[in-house]
Structure formats: structure tokens, C-alpha cells
Structure 1
Amino acid sequence: MQIARVALDVPLHRFFDYIVPETEALSDSDLGRLVRVPFGQKSRIGIIVVLPQSSDVPVARLKSIEAVLRDIPALPADWFRLSEFCAAYYQAPLGEVMLSTLPAGLRRVAPPKARTSQRFVKPSPPQEPPELTAEQKTALAAIAEDSKGFRAYLLHGVTGSGKTEIYLRLVERSLAAGRQVLMLVPEINLTPQLESRVAARFPSAGLVSLHSELTEAARTRNWRAALEGRARIVLGTRLAIFAPLPDLGLIVVDEEHDASFKQQDGMRYSARDVAVFRARERGIPIVLGSATPSLESWANATDHRTPARYTLLTLHQRAVENSRLPLVQRIDTRPEKLQDGLSAALLLGIEKRLTRGEQSLVFLNRRGYAPVLACTNCGWISHCHRCAANLVLHLLDRRLRCHHCGFESPIPKACPTCGNQDIQPFGRGTQRLESVLAERFPQARILRVDRDSARSRKQWETLVQRIYSGDADILVGTQMLAKGHDFPKLTLVGALGADAALFASDWRAPERLFAQLMQVAGRAGRAELPGEVLIQTQFPDHPLYAALVQHDYAAFADSQLKEREEAGFPPYTFQAMLRAESPHMADALAFLATARAGPQTG
């Protein structure tokens, strides 16, 4: 009698033993094979992890495997090691980790039928590689000299310095060596642009994408193409880090600082950190690229008190000839009465661009019409009923939405507390800003780009195409427009509402603000037209803004790291977060207080 130990998607730190039917005899080559097994009153999909000689459970109590899914190749050994690392480091049941990384279609009891055809990303017309700058050549040479085995490279380049071209040259080298490549981007909205560029450069390589907006069938198909080695380049968001790649030879993490690489639901993990572990485990190079690296990565590359974990490669200049970094100016709003939140300098700058046929971007990282609805009579505020955040007013949809937990409700006709019908929006969101600009510049074509106007990939691609084609004069956008885009006619960026992050309780807020502003500033003047950035602030002398004016990330990062070391914050200490969710705040706080007190003795 043969026994198989199976991992299942259950919140238990254990595996389950099953009898292997005589018709389904297994060997060590079947480790990692998917099986269908009975569990409780239902059937589940599991993964064979061990073929033990015996079981601790009496044989009479063991159930039999219902089917071995032999049409799906067994998962490779390095994928197991990656799952084991994540389960141990992020304190999650191993079975949950293994099964949650599979496409939903393969976790179903009746998985979709295998298809022999594979629709790879449609290539654009082939493109000739551009001439490399001296800095790009130096960076590539540094990687080429030490490309054997594991090495982590931090590619720090100003916006527009040609980091993507370095990625593509490294991809070319890996493909020539018969290896697969994994490229990670922080957001789905960045994949179409990079997809088309990679497909144009490598039209016959077999490029697939992996992200949450793919249909279930498409994700399953692309995942299998990666596992079977037919896809030589995999481009995706954080979930793609778990794609099984038998010939993996290179990992690239673009915009490595981005918080979107962190998974906040289920198993909470950092895809960037998992990528570094995977590269080390496979003995391959990994390139982490950013104009504003995370402070953890910067410390790993620049801390001279210990041997550097990462090799720092720097690009100081933009790659396009005659393209210069934008002029950054601080607009002191203290002595000025703003016009609907807009300074005279910013309004004048927009007007000049309209006259010249250029584009402007007004950046406000707060979607909706207003961040809160309030009663002027009793002080009621639109708090979320499910969490501690406020409900944001979305006037066009006539809804109040929580951008934290997703709860939403209709806009009340009167104050729920006192019945006052004169409830007012306070603050500004992108919808309200769009209305203000439309009234101020009635002749301008205004385009709002946020999560509400671009809820699907198709909507996003339509908006981006309108911007590229010049069918928009003024863009009103959130962080969706802050990175990864080259709009040739965009020459002015105005940043609103940045001061709130300067004194936030989150100790990472300054780092995120600097990255956000530097990234959005980098959208201006990407081509030959000069760019200008206007930051409205009540604290123009703040060191963060001074570093922005100089485009001096290194100075900002070093000062922040010094503060963190003195305060005992990461990366100089370790922190763990314990979260509690409950319909009642008191219950959540009581649980956290008990957990903080620790186990009681006696």
C-alpha cells in the first residue's frame, strides 16, 4: 500500500495522508503533482509533497486519492523551497501558501481543460535598440563582469535615464544563454507599455503576463506556459514571483520601492524581498531598479559599516539627448489666498501650456470629490462603519466609499445624527479638482485619471492613448500617472496636498512622499521640451522639498536613514505588525491588549 502526503489550502500547519490507488502508482518524480482528494464533505485540489513509508494515522481512517492530475507537470523543487521560505518567514500555513500561489483555475476541483495553443503577447513592429549612454554602458559592463551566480544589483537612475533599456539588454543576454526571465512591475497599469516594448524587442521569445486582471483561463494558460518552459519571458505584478520557471536565469524588479509589491491580504509578503530570496536560492542575478529606491535597499547598497549586500549602479543623466531633469520650484501658499486650492503661479503655468499646445498634469493623490462629508451643525463626519477610516464623497456616483476597506453607502440626504440637511464636503479630491479646472479653463480638454475613471485595463489603455495622441490638455491624476510613462507633450506638473504626509504618524510617510513627488516630477519634460514642476506647500523650507529641488535622492535617503537609526526603526531594527479586525472596535482593542501582554503564567 502506497501513501501520499498532500498539502491542502486549509489554515492548519500540517499535511494530510491519503492512500494512493493501485492504478495511480507514484514515484519521486510525482512530487509536486496536483491531485484531487476528499476532504470533509467535499473534494479539494492538493499537492503531493512527500511519499512516506508509513502514516501516523491508522490506515483504516485514511481516504484514497480521487485522481492524479497528470496532464499538469509536477511543480519543480525550487518552487517548493520558495513556498517553504514564505511559509516560515511570513508565518503562514505551508499548504495555504502553496495552493494560494496557483491560478484559481487549477485550484478548482474541475480544472479547465488543457489547451495546446498559447496566445503570447502580440508583438509590436520590431525596434532597433537605441544607442547606449556612457553611464548605461558602465552599468551593463559591471553586471557582465559578475553575472555568474547570485548577485543583487540596485540600479538607481533618475527618471528617464534608461533603466528599461538596461533591463532589455540583460534579458537579451539571458535568452541567448537559453534561460527564462522574470520581470516584475508594481501595478497592472504599467504592464501594457512594458509588454509592447519587450514584445517588440523579442518577438519570438514567447512573452506572457501574469496579473490579477487576466481572465481565469488566461492566467492558467500563461502560468502553464511558464511551468512548461514555452514562455521564456514572464512579465507580471507581485503574484508573478511565484510562477514556476524551470530555466530561470534573471529576475528584474522595476520600481522596486513601490508599496504595491506588498501583499496586504491573506499571506502578507513583499514580492521584492521574495524575489531576492528566489534569486539567491537559484544562484542567479537580480536587478532592482528605481529612481527612488526603498531605504532598506539603499542601506543594503551603501552601508559601509558592513559588507554591502547589493551592488550599487547609478545613472545620473537622462538617456534622451537634449532631455534635462525638470526645474522644481516650491510655491509658498502661506501668504496667498488660493483659488479653489490652486495658486496663481500654477494657474499661470497651465495657461502658458494651453497657449503653446503643451500638456499639464495637476497631481493630487486623493480620488473622489472630497475626502470627507461633514455636518456643520453637530460635527458629524462620514466615518466608515467597518474600519477607522473616513468615507470619501464620490459625487458623480452619489456614493460614500471607504478607500481603506471597500465599504460604501449612498450619500445621506440629511445628517444621520441631527437631521440637518446642510451637510457639506470638506477638502478636495480629483473629481472636485476636475470640476474646478473645467470652470477655470472652459476651452481646455481635461482628463481625469484615477481608480474611478480607469477601473479596467481597457479603460486605462484608452485614457493613456488619449494622452499620447494629444487629445487632452490638462490631466488631473493620482499616483497612477506618477511612474513609468513617457508623455512627450507633458511639460508642467503641479503637486497639491503634499504637506499632509510631512507630519503623518506613519514613520515611512516622508520616504513615500519623496518617492511619489520625484516620480511624478519625472513625467515633465521627458522629450526635448523643458519640464517644470510646481509644488504647493506651506513648508517651503522643509529639507524634503530642498532635496527635491536639487533632485538629490542620496542626500534625502542618507538623512532619513540617520533619523531611523537614532529612533530605532527599520532597517536597523526588526518590527512585526499584529492586526485585529472586528465589527466592534472594543473587541479588536481587547484582543490586541491581551496579545501585547503575552502568555499568562501561574
Structure 2
Amino acid sequence: MIAEIAFPIPLHRTFYYRLPAALEVSAAPGLRVLVPFGFRQAAGVIVKLLKDSEADLSGFREVKSVIKLLDASPVFTDDIVELAFWMRDRWNSPVGLSLEAFFGGRLADLYAFEDILRPTENQVLVDSPPISGFSAEAVARIGGAIGPSASENAQQGGASLSLPKVFLLTHPPGILRNEIFIPLCARAMSSGGQVLLMVPDLNVIASFAKTLSGIFGEPNIALWHSHLTPVQRKNTWTGVLSGRHRLLVGMRSAAFLPFRKLALAIVDSEHDNVYKQEEEKNKLHFHARELLLRRARSHGTCVTLASPCPSLETYGRAVAGDFELVAPVAWTHGETVGSQAEDASEKTGIGRGIGKAPAASYSALTTALPAPLSAVAGQAGVSVIDMNKYAGLIAEPLADKIKLTLERGRKVLLLTGRKGYTGLIFCVKCGWTKRCARCRVPMSVVKEEAAGVEQFLCRRCGRKDPYSEICPRCSGTIFRRSGLGTQKAEEAAKALFPAARTARFDGDVVRKSARNARETLEGFLKGGTEILVGTRIAARDRGLETLGLVAVLDADIEISSTDFRASEKAFQLFYEAYHSLKVSGAELAVQTREPGHYVLSLLKEMDYQKFLNSELQTRKDFFYPPFSFLVKVSFASFDLKALQDFEAVFLKELDFLSEAGSEGAGSEILGPVGAADPKKRKFFSQYYLVKAANEKISADCLEKLRSLTPPKKVKMTVIADPYGFR
């Protein structure tokens, strides 16, 4: 008998091994095995068992044998093995790496599974605090879909599995979440199920964990994030598998945890891009929201996607009838609840208060949407500052606003789109840009805080190079900087307001020390920090009564990106920042050199519904998600001819898109983007964007791309469902 085995390596292939007769009876898909692999022994996972006649062994001089089985029973169930192959078709993730992610550690780690799998009974009964209004309605609607998980029903001989119940919960930014989340968690845990609360931010984890521990008891709650030690990760993973941990608060990788009775999964801020992992250094690509929705099918899990400003992809699926919309209709521009509800019902079929979107095709997505996503009139002011009229990083009108806010005893939040000191730097004379010697991507400029010395930093691999004042190509000494970083913005704020206590909060601060990051944030929320400079993570649900001004220093980075989601991301940033202002007279200020951009024209009304209508129509017109599936294929080389020759092979391989018939209507290839100019550059990089009409065509495209082997001089990178375009 032949075992098809996947290994946790960045290769899109599996390997055949022969099973000794003594192991054939015990072998099964999902078992870990120890096998010879090259000049060493390695742990892998059996994904399929084949008879000798079923395996294509042509070209093999020798089929090596499995040394031993590492488990008495399968660690990976059939649905997890199937899910790993689905991830390959959806995001081009190697099957072995996906399986290792579900394992929670290295595949070679020997966990005592027999002890772990002993059932644990610790039902949690909690009296939920009284709630009313929209919160009560939302809990009633969503809570009615929470029950014993599908896996438990299957064990008890229950009905066959059905599609999971998925809700899209829209709520005003910064409020109502706990009022809804806590009763839902209590209901799921009281029914004997487990709960996953997925959040985008490490600091949000700490906040939720503190609140939930006081209600459900610390032993029932576990955390899952990148700062855990290996021992902590093992204890959490085994606790979830055994059922000891009933409520898990975690970041995106929590979607891989081995829940036994997952009754409820909540994705907080489902619109956040951090849920998509596509970094080149990590070949395991996935979107945690989509992965969780797929897993919910086998668990019968009730899934709640929560956001004050949902992504266009998710909202489109709600309007199409795939998800059930739960939204407070009364949250409008101050018009009466009745008139808004009746108007929304007539246009979309969504009833008063809470309703279900009508079944519809994506062609109907651009109909008028329900009214719950608009701002409350008169909450705060909005001003757009035309930077074409001013010099400097902080324009005079904004400096005046900051001064007035500080004099009133209120706090200021300054937002910029980049970490570090500045984005890119290039020679004015010849156009040279500093690139990473390892990754060949442009390097950012950062300033070492201790020494105050500028350095080049590669955001992809972490390489640092000394900063030079002389261009190595033409010996020029005049450089132009592009993009405002948080370090430079902090420096400018301190120069203008030396007496104000100023701090910085961005991804670099969080990555350097989670404890210092929490202290920095607490210093702004509750302490003496008066000005906080940060990226958009600093604006996540940071509403406090003393916040008087939020300013976006470089809106052009957001709205002028080549990313087709640029407008959506920008409006979400403005929207959340606006709603973090709680006091009378507070203001959102936006600095831009494109004051006529249509996104900025919507800021006066701060109407997310109007934005969704406009943006969905644009997405439909240009065939972008949710109307298509995207695959970004990038090429890089020092040899222009080798790059162009291989691109021709790539384009020929995808000829099938033009022959896909009616089911593939609209599929196309755009590009190349960033076409190389041989007169100015020695390193060439560009990408193509494949638009596939459906998931099957996207999977076929990825399969074709996996069959291509680029020459040594050319690097090809494939990212499905791309979120990064800078």
C-alpha cells in the first residue's frame, strides 16, 4: 500500500511512501508519520492511502518506506485534510504548511493526545447583564441560531450537516459590542459549546480578556497570539482540543485551533485587513474570516461578523442573501425610525430594526442599501485642509486646531499611513532608490531612537543598512523623500508643541514590546499623554471623552494608492476616526493635496451607506471583488529578456481564460503593472492581475501557475485574493 504524504515545507507537492505490511492495518489519513526525507528523517501527514496500482510511480527508482506512525489515531480529521487542500485551491497555500498550522506547533512535536482527547465537562452558566433596545434584538436574533455544534450532533446521531448560520452585525463604532458579545458568549457556553472571539489587535485582546475573565472566570478563557511562548501555545492548543478552554480570544491564526464543540465564532472588526496573511516570507496564505466561514460548515457553528463599517465583500454577500444582516435602523441622520425603516424595507426588503437581506444575485448589489450605516448628525465637525496651499508636515490651520484643542484640556490623535521615519527616498538626479540586497524591494527610512541615527530598513525581511548622503549610482547628494512616517510626524509634533506630552503608537512599537505598547496606549487613554501619533491601529475603537481632535496628516497615501480597495480603506479610517470623537466641539481634520477626491466629498455627511452604494457600483463596472476573484502574479529579475520570455510562457499558460465559456465571462488578465524601463533600471519587477469570474476558475488558474517553473534568473510570486498593492 502507498501513502501520499504532505510535509510542512513551502512546496506545492506531496510525496509517495510505501507502508510496511505491519503498519497497513493502523494507517489512515490524518495520521502523522516519520519517514526518510533526503538525508534526514522528517514528520509528515498521510493525506491519502492508495493501492500500488492507483499510484503513478513512473520515474521513481525507489519508493522509500514509512519508518513508523507517530499517533494511535488520526490527529487531523477528514474535514481538516480536505480544508488544507481547499486552502491550496483558494490561496495557493502548500498543503503541508496548512496542516502544520492546524497542529499549532511543529509536526514533529509529540503531544500526549490520548490524555488530551479525554472529554472534559465544565459547563459554564452565567447570568447575563440586562440589556434592551437594539442590543436585546440582536442577541435574540443571533442567539436563536446558537446550539450544540454539528460535531456534537454527529456524535449523537443527529441530522446531516447544513450550511452555517452567518450574521453580519453592524454597530456604531466603539459602543454596543460588549452588550451583544457577552450575552452571546454566555448563551453558547451555557449550551455546552465553545466560543471563538477573533480580534485584529493585540491590545484589543488584552482589553477583551480582562472584561471576559471577570464574567466567565479566568480558567475558562484562553488567549492566542504571536507573543505566546511555545509552552503557552502548547497548553492553549491542547486546552482547546480537550474542551478545557471554553472561550478563546485570539488573532487571525486562532482560526486554525482544534475546537471540539465550536458553537459560536465572532469576528470583531471583520473589515480589518490584518485578517489576511499574505506576507512573502510566510508561504502560508489565508484570510481568517473566509477560513473560519469554511470551517463552520463542518461544526454547524453560528458565525457573527461584526463591524461598524463592514467590508464591501461581506456586505455584498449579506445583500445577496448569503448572510443575515443585523443592524440598528434607528442609527441614522436623526430622521424618525419609522420613516427610515419603511424606506429601507421598500427598497431592499429589510424590515424595521433587524431583518434578512433578500436573496439576490450580485447584479442586484447596487440597489439602495439599508440606512443603519450613517453617522449621527451633529456629533463632530469635519474639515478638509488643502495642502497645495501650505508647506510643512502640519499645515497652519491644523496647527491652530491642535493648539486650541490642547488649550481646552483635550487630547489630540495624529494619524499617518506609514511606520518609520519616511516611506521611500530617491535621488533627484538619477532616480536611484535604495533596495534591499536580499529582497530587492524598496527600503524605508527609520530613525534609531537611542542613537538618533537614520537607517534603511526592509519591511519584508528586517534587514538594516546604514543611511548614506551620497547616491551610489551618480554621486548625487540631493534626495527627495516620499511618504510621511510616524517617527517624522512625532518629531514634527514635538517641534511645534514642545510643552505637550507626545507619544507614538504603531506596528513597530507593538512588535518591539507588547507591554510598552499597552503602557503607551494607556498613557493616552487614561494618563497624561496629550498628543498620540500613530498609524491606523491607533484609531481602532479608541473613543474617549477627552479626545478633541483626530487629524489624518497624509490622506493622499490612503486615497491615491493603486489598490482597488484604497477608497474603502480610506473611508473606513475616516469613519472610525470620526466616531471616536465623543465630546461637543470635537473635530476630524484631513490634510490632502486632492481635496476634490470623491471619498473626501462624502466626509461632510459621513454616510457609509452612500459610500457603499457608490463603491459597489464602481466595483461592478470594473469587475473587482465581490464580483470576481483576483490572483496577483509578480515577476522580478535582473535579466529583462529572461523576465519577458517567461512572462510569455505565463500568458500562454493562462490562455484558457479566454475559452472558459459563459461561466467564465468577464475573466481577464491586466498588466503588466510597473513595466520595466531598461534605460533607467538594472532590476526589473512588474505584476499581472488575473480577474477570475468564479472560485473554480481562480483555482484552475492557480493550478496552472503551480505547474510553471521559472528559470533561475526570474522570481515569480503568486498571491490569491491580494490585499497589498503598494
TM bucket, shorter chain: 0.7 to 0.9
Could you say what secondary structure the match of 1:186 adopts?
A: coil
Matched residue, 2:624: 569
- Summarize deviations over 1:429-452 as a string: whole Å, max 9, x none: 221221121121111100011233
- Summarize deviations over 1:550-573 as a string: whole Å, max 9, x none: 231111011101111112222123
Greater Cα offset, 560-569 or 344-353 = 344-353
Deviation, structure 1 residue 274: 1.3
Matched residue, 2:706: none
Matched residue, 1:138: 137
Task: Give the letter aligned to residue 97 of structure 1.
Answer: S
Contact 1:151/1:280 (8 A) holds in 2: no
Matched residue, 2:550: 493
Matched residue, 1:171: 185
Matched residue, 1:120: none
Task: Give the letter aligned to residue 35 of structure 1.
Answer: V
How far apart are the structure 1 equivalents of 2:297 and 2:174?
29
Task: Give the letter aligned to residue 68 of structure 2.
Answer: E
Q: CA, structure 1 residues 224+351, in 2 after alignment: closer, same or farther (shift >3 Å)?
A: same
Could you say what secondary structure the match of 2:75 adopts?
A: coil
Task: Give the letter aligned to residue 107 of structure 2.
Answer: R
- Summarize deviations over 1:340-368 as a string: whole Å, max 9, x none: 22233322222233223321101111222
Q: Does 1:95 align with 2:96?
A: yes
Matched residue, 2:422: 370
Could you say what secondary structure the match of 2:394 adopts?
A: coil
How far apart are the structure 2 equivalents of 1:68 and 1:378?
60
Could you say what secondary structure the match of 1:44 adopts?
A: strand
- Summarize deviations over 1:61-85 as a string: whole Å, max 9, x none: 4424335245x98334443333232
Greater Cα offset, 241-250 or 387-396 = 387-396
Counterpart mapping for 1:218-229 below 5 A: 218-229=232-243
How far apart are the structure 2 equivalents of 1:113 and 1:463?
41
Greater Cα offset, 351-360 or 429-438 = 351-360
Contact 1:328/1:535 (8 A) holds in 2: no
Deviation, structure 1 residue 261: 1.1
Corresponding residue to 1:314 among 327, 335, 347: 327
Runs of 4+ in 1 over 6 A off after TM superposition: 57-60, 112-117
Contact 1:128/1:201 (8 A) holds in 2: no
Matched residue, 2:385: 332
Could you say what secondary structure the match of 1:181 adopts?
A: strand
Deviation, structure 1 residue 60: 8.8
Contact 2:544/2:580 (8 A) holds in 1: yes
How far apart are the structure 1 equivalents of 2:258 and 2:559?
42
How far apart are the structure 1 equivalents of 2:63 and 2:442?
52
Greater Cα offset, 557-566 or 134-143 = 134-143
Task: Give the letter aligned to residue 541 of structure 2.
Answer: G
Matched residue, 1:479: 536
How far apart are the structure 1 equivalents of 2:304 and 2:322?
13
Matched residue, 2:14: 14
Corresponding residue to 1:42 among 40, 53, 69: 40
How far apart are the structure 1 equivalents of 2:180 and 2:299?
22
Greater Cα offset, 182-191 or 221-230 = 182-191
Deviation, structure 1 residue 472: 0.5
Could you say what secondary structure the match of 1:168 adopts?
A: helix
Could you say what secondary structure the match of 2:327 adopts?
A: strand
* Aligned positions, number: 575
- Summarize deviations over 1:20-56 as a string: whole Å, max 9, x none: 685x78648x753433332222111223445667675
Task: Give the letter aligned to residue 70 of structure 2.
Answer: V
Contact 1:330/1:537 (8 A) holds in 2: no
Matched residue, 2:291: 274
How far apart are the structure 2 equivalents of 1:585 and 1:401?
27
Greater Cα offset, 481-490 or 467-476 = 481-490
Deviation, structure 1 residue 414: 1.9
Identity over aligned residues, as a percent?
26
Could you say what secondary structure the match of 1:598 adopts?
A: helix
Q: CA, structure 1 residues 205+79, in 2 after alignment: closer, same or farther (shift >3 Å)?
A: farther
How far apart are the structure 2 equivalents of 1:94 and 1:449?
37
How far apart are the structure 2 equivalents of 1:261 and 1:302?
22
Contact 2:420/2:447 (8 A) holds in 1: yes
How far apart are the structure 2 equivalents of 1:587 and 1:158?
53
Q: CA, structure 1 residues 132+551, in 2 after alignment: closer, same or farther (shift >3 Å)?
A: farther
Q: CA, structure 1 residues 74+342, in 2 after alignment: closer, same or farther (shift >3 Å)?
A: same
Deviation, structure 1 residue 574: 2.8
Could you say what secondary structure the match of 2:19 adopts?
A: strand
Q: Does 1:356 align with 2:408?
A: yes
Task: Give the letter aligned to residue 41 of structure 1.
Answer: F
Task: Give the letter aligned to residue 350 of structure 1.
Answer: I
How far apart are the structure 1 equivalents of 2:140 and 2:455?
55
Deviation, structure 1 residue 374: 3.7
Deviation, structure 1 residue 107: 2.5
Matched residue, 1:63: 65
Corresponding residue to 1:522 among 579, 600, 604: 579
- What are the ranges of 5 or more consecutive residues in structure 2 without an aligned counterpart? 117-125, 148-161, 333-375, 657-726
Contact 1:494/1:533 (8 A) holds in 2: yes
Could you say what secondary structure the match of 1:170 adopts?
A: helix
Could you say what secondary structure the match of 1:576 adopts?
A: strand
Greater Cα offset, 590-599 or 206-215 = 590-599
How far apart are the structure 2 equivalents of 1:199 and 1:386?
45
Could you say what secondary structure the match of 1:223 adopts?
A: helix
How far apart are the structure 2 equivalents of 1:437 and 1:514?
25
Cα RMSD between the aligned structures? 3.4
Contact 2:388/2:593 (8 A) holds in 1: no
Matched residue, 1:429: 485
Matched residue, 1:470: 527
Q: CA, structure 1 residues 26+358, in 2 after alignment: closer, same or farther (shift >3 Å)?
A: farther
Deviation, structure 1 residue 418: 3.0
How far apart are the structure 2 equivalents of 1:61 and 1:147?
49
How far apart are the structure 1 equivalents of 2:12 and 2:484?
46
Matched residue, 2:687: none
Could you say what secondary structure the match of 2:548 adopts?
A: strand
Matched residue, 2:312: 295
Q: CA, structure 1 residues 93+376, in 2 after alignment: closer, same or farther (shift >3 Å)?
A: closer
Could you say what secondary structure the match of 1:371 adopts?
A: strand
Q: TM-score, normalised by structure 1?
A: 0.85
Could you say what secondary structure the match of 1:575 adopts?
A: strand
- What are the ranges of 5 or more consecutive residues in structure 1 without an aligned counterpart? 118-126
How far apart are the structure 2 equivalents of 1:385 and 1:506?
26
Q: CA, structure 1 residues 538+426, in 2 after alignment: closer, same or farther (shift >3 Å)?
A: closer
- Summarize deviations over 1:511-559 as a string: whole Å, max 9, x none: 111112222333332xx66642112234444332233332311110111
Contact 1:226/1:244 (8 A) holds in 2: yes
Q: TM-score, normalised by structure 2?
A: 0.72
Matched residue, 2:267: 253
Could you say what secondary structure the match of 1:138 adopts?
A: helix
Q: CA, structure 1 residues 596+559, in 2 after alignment: closer, same or farther (shift >3 Å)?
A: same
Task: Give the letter aligned to residue 14 of structure 2.
Answer: R
